[in-house]
Structure 1
Amino acid sequence: MAHKFEQPQEHSPLPLFTASVSAMIQLERSNGVPLYRQIYERLRNAILGGELPEGTRLPTERALARELHVNRTTVMNAYNELASEGLIEGHVGRGTLVKRTYLARELDDEPFEQHMPSWLFSLSAEEELALGHDARLMSEITALGDQQEVISLAAATPAAGLLPAELLREIVQDDLLTARQSALGYCPVEGLQSLRRGIAERMRKHGVPVDFQHILVLSGSTQGIGLVGRFLLHPGDEVVVEVPTYLGAIQTFRALGARVIGVPIDNEGMRLDLLEAILARRSPRLIYTLPTFQNPTGVIMSPARRRRLLALARRYQVPILEDDPYGEIYFEGEAPQPLKALDTRGDVLYLSTYSKLLAPGLRVAWLAAPEPLIERLSLHKQIFDLNTTALGQWLVSEILQRQMLDPHLARVRQQYQRQRDVMFQAIQEYWPAGTRVTLPRGGFHLWCRLPGDMRARTLLREAAQEGVAFVLGEPFHIDGGGRQYIRLSYAVSDEVQIREGIRRIGLAMRRIQSRRSPRDEQEGLHIERMPMV
């Protein structure tokens, strides 16, 4: 399967410019300038000068190295320099493409502004930073699902075979005609009362004493993060998050103008000694945490830390936003109780979703909070979203009333546990020594540290040649960290695809290692097993 994408595909509108690119690079091997620097500077000038238009597919590292009679590492270093300036970008299934930055366009003879409306340039530098490269990551991950030749281990979405199409068809056939007003009409901003009652009843079974008045139905978890952020935060306010943490939360808080402060996690969750030091010195307005099967690490916050976190929030008068998309996707024992179950004072705002449990297309999530806050947030919600889709709410409400969710979840948990095990076994079989893997007890993801000093971006570009995708660790960090980490999802692909995808990544890893001096070869695969709450 190696080098599957080195030759152009018939359906691709982008030509492969191996001959023309190599012809424009004249290397002077005796002038003292490193060869990679000469390649970088010539390609940079060609991109900025328009000789290589935006969208041009560059040769693979191997192909260009062969044409120029240099080591492949030389070309790799040149490409890395261009990528760091935003002049090229790797795309799974399409290779390395010229992608000039806004700065590069400004250097054109014909100003970029002539091609775009003036209002577009009202975006501030801060907004562009908040919505920049990592904001495109989610849409690119979603788009991978349409590329049949690519194995995606990136998307955090349920497998197609586990989407409850049969349940939904049964409900629609039985009752849609008689429930057309509830299912197809407008509904209250707070959500259908039948759904809110069903959610509250299920939360009580998990130890959270709420009623329907404490529930606000949302159009996805990210909407909940945004609503809470708009209500609690002003530009310049500080928010504490775990590091690493959910990319969508980082983007949302930064888009609201908040300053995001990171607290590292270990295998028991957020480091509360470091959190306490921050709370003592500063005045954050919110603590955001994923205490159960954390995204991306899969970590579960220990019971002692959960109690300590609540005590700190109470002492320093800082509310906690608990994000819990994966709490019911557990593989051993019983479901971990939410942090909210320990909250006796209303300090925890609890956020969850049916996107992972049922289907993301239903667009149904919810927030559980004190009733006065639900009333205020409902007023904010109706400004941006008059009501969450009635059909999705009605379908979820029917699933809860008909007691269909638990049998569905039993099947889901069993399947995802098998897929997790297949992925882990394939890593043991195909990946080189020195890899560190966090083995979760639930959720969708494996969090992996690459062996030695291998960088995730280098691996992603190499893996793109094999037709496999994963998520870099960097976007989950706020401090530039995560360069040697990747997140793999075992949820979306089937077992055959998982094994093949891991095998392809292993091939890419070994090619990278073969270009370097051997190191860490004596260290075996390191497994970090997550404790149960």
Structure 2
Amino acid sequence: MVEFFSKVAVEAKASDVRELLKLTKIPGMISFAGGLPSPDAFPVEEMKGVAVDVIDKHGYKAMQYGTTEGLAELRTLIKDIMAKRHVNTDISNILITTGSQQGLDLCGKVFINKGDKIACESPTYLAAISALKPYQPQFVEIDMDEEGMRLDHLEKQLQSEKIKFIYTIPDFQNPSGRSMTIERRRAMVDLANKYDVLIVEDSPYSELAYDQEAYAPIKSFDTEGRVIYLSTFSKIVCPGFRVGWICADEKYLSKYIILKQGLDLHTNQFSQYMIENYYSKYNMDQQIDQIKSLYRTKRDAMIEAIELHFPKSVKTSKPAGGMFLWVELPEGIDSKALLPKALEQKVAYVSGEAFYPNIPKKNTMRLNFSNSTVSEIHKGIKILGEILSEALL
């Protein structure tokens, strides 16, 4: 049977996170594994009325085929959102995607030839690795510090390698939780101009800033149309609608549109109408503030529990926003090897090695705090603390 598969299909592996998410269905499982928004953040009651409004106002149009570019009303809304994020653009520069994940896949389709070099943070978003890997690039990992991707390391690679594009998550990065400073955002654009390279800015978490105002995106410093900006409604409305967007110069976006046509013709029309109607009817600033308050409490609970229960030799990030904490264990401790013990006690997390495209660092793990309750966070972290303490004996 294998002879029928393509090389890409033969080499494809299931996502560690998607596999672990199956375990969340087990009664009593405390999952710090997936990047799941809290169900408490979903506007369920509001969406009941929105659904009726969409059907009453738009009827058959909401159920009919649409344009590949996406609903004009929603793209106009996104234009306004981008303006609030300090990016002045036009709807001709906006393409609606089926979640940010489709945007990542389209980046591979549009730009990557086999062997092309892609610079990314180390560690980086594992689903970006999964999306881009079938196009057979070479990932060039760039070290990070507390201020994001290290631009001195990046420039050394740009000097010695022909990099096709830089992939970065500058806001509360998944998985590390770190944010790139304004100075580095501006300097990254300068490097891209100097070395003739593109930047793919993946920004799903920028609205989830708990201790500071959200930084202006890299795209806001774009002087030559080099930045392709990806974002989504998944973290601030609901992920099940699968609605995201790309904002890019028309010379690039035109290719995204053509290639998207071969994927799905267009993103779910009804979902697009739902989101546009929801924004027109409700105060989104208030909705986002409520989500931030909810997640800030959970983040603080996880940090407090870690300080109480984890061994002192374990290093943990303290993100100013987003949905994740990054944990570094002492050298020689393999977090994946400890996972079965955690699962036996009904606690799940993601081993950090999945976030490195080349050489994995096995003594790391990612913990999600947005989906669990505060009591589950305290209970689960206590169990993990006991497992880690035993491993360090």
TM range (shorter): over 0.9
Is 1:136 the counterpart of 2:27? The answer is no
Single out whichever of 401-410 and 377-386 deviates more from structure 2.
Answer: 401-410
Partner of 2:122: 243
Deviation, 1:344, is 2.2
Distance 1:191 1:506, change over 3 A: same
| 1:178 counterpart SS class | helix
Please say if residues 182 and 215 of structure 2, whose CA atoms lie closer than 8 Å, have aligned partners that are also in contact. Answer: no
Please say if residues 31 and 349 of structure 2, whose CA atoms lie closer than 8 Å, have aligned partners that are also in contact. Answer: yes
Alpha-carbon distance between aligned partners in 1 of 2:126 and 2:154, rounded to the nearest angstrom: 20
Please say if residues 320 and 347 of structure 1, whose CA atoms lie closer than 8 Å, have aligned partners that are also in contact. Answer: yes
Please say if residues 95 and 257 of structure 2, whose CA atoms lie closer than 8 Å, have aligned partners that are also in contact. Answer: yes
Alpha-carbon distance between aligned partners in 1 of 2:285 and 2:213, rounded to the nearest angstrom: 13
1:466 to 345, 352, 359: 345
2:91 to 205, 212, 220: 212
1:360 to 222, 232, 239: 239
**Amino acid paired to 1:419:** K
Please say if residues 139 and 358 of structure 2, whose CA atoms lie closer than 8 Å, have aligned partners that are also in contact. Answer: no
Please say if residues 32 and 367 of structure 2, whose CA atoms lie closer than 8 Å, have aligned partners that are also in contact. Answer: yes
Query: Larger RCO: Structure 1 or Structure 2 (Cα < 8 Å, ≥ 6 residues apart)?
Result: 2
Is 1:200 the counterpart of 2:73? The answer is no
Identity of aligned residues (%): 33
Stretches of structure 2 lacking an aligned partner (at least 5 in a row): none
When Rg is computed on C-alpha atoms for both structures, the one with the higher figure is 1
Deviation, 1:292, is 0.9
Tell me the TM-score normalized by structure 1: 0.71
Tell me the TM-score normalized by structure 2: 0.96
Stretches of structure 1 lacking an aligned partner (at least 5 in a row): 1-116, 515-533
Is 1:290 the counterpart of 2:166? The answer is no
**Amino acid paired to 1:152:** S
Deviations 1:225-264 (A, max 9, x none): 1112211111111111111000111122221111111111
1:391 to 240, 247, 270: 270
Alpha-carbon distance between aligned partners in 1 of 2:42 and 2:343, rounded to the nearest angstrom: 28
Is 1:263 the counterpart of 2:142? The answer is yes
Please say if residues 243 and 477 of structure 1, whose CA atoms lie closer than 8 Å, have aligned partners that are also in contact. Answer: yes
Single out whichever of 365-374 and 484-493 deviates more from structure 2.
Answer: 365-374
Alpha-carbon distance between aligned partners in 2 of 1:480 and 1:233, rounded to the nearest angstrom: 21
Deviation, 1:118, is 5.2
Is 1:342 the counterpart of 2:213? The answer is no
Partner of 2:180: 301
Deviation, 1:454, is 2.2
Partner of 1:370: 249
Deviation, 1:479, is 2.8
Within 5 Å, give how 1:407-486 maps onto structure 2.
Answer: 407-451=286-330, 453-486=332-365
2:156 to 277, 280, 295: 277
Partner of 1:106: none
Is 1:502 the counterpart of 2:360? The answer is no
**Amino acid paired to 1:350:** Y
| 1:196 counterpart SS class | helix
Partner of 1:316: 195
Deviation, 1:267, is 0.7
**Amino acid paired to 2:213:** E
Distance 1:268 1:185, change over 3 A: same
Partner of 2:391: 512
Deviations 1:441-480 (A, max 9, x none): 0000000112463221222122122110001110101232
Please say if residues 214 and 370 of structure 1, whose CA atoms lie closer than 8 Å, have aligned partners that are also in contact. Answer: yes
Alpha-carbon distance between aligned partners in 2 of 1:274 and 1:438, rounded to the nearest angstrom: 22
| 1:202 counterpart SS class | helix
| 2:298 counterpart SS class | helix
Single out whichever of 417-426 and 234-243 deviates more from structure 2.
Answer: 234-243
1:382 to 251, 256, 261: 261
Alpha-carbon distance between aligned partners in 2 of 1:452 and 1:271, rounded to the nearest angstrom: 23
**Amino acid paired to 1:149:** G
Report how many residues are paired: 393
Deviations 1:143-182 (A, max 9, x none): 1232222110111011112112122112123342231233
**Amino acid paired to 1:281:** S
**Amino acid paired to 1:162:** A
Please say if residues 15 and 130 of structure 2, whose CA atoms lie closer than 8 Å, have aligned partners that are also in contact. Answer: no
Cα RMSD, aligned residues only:
1.5
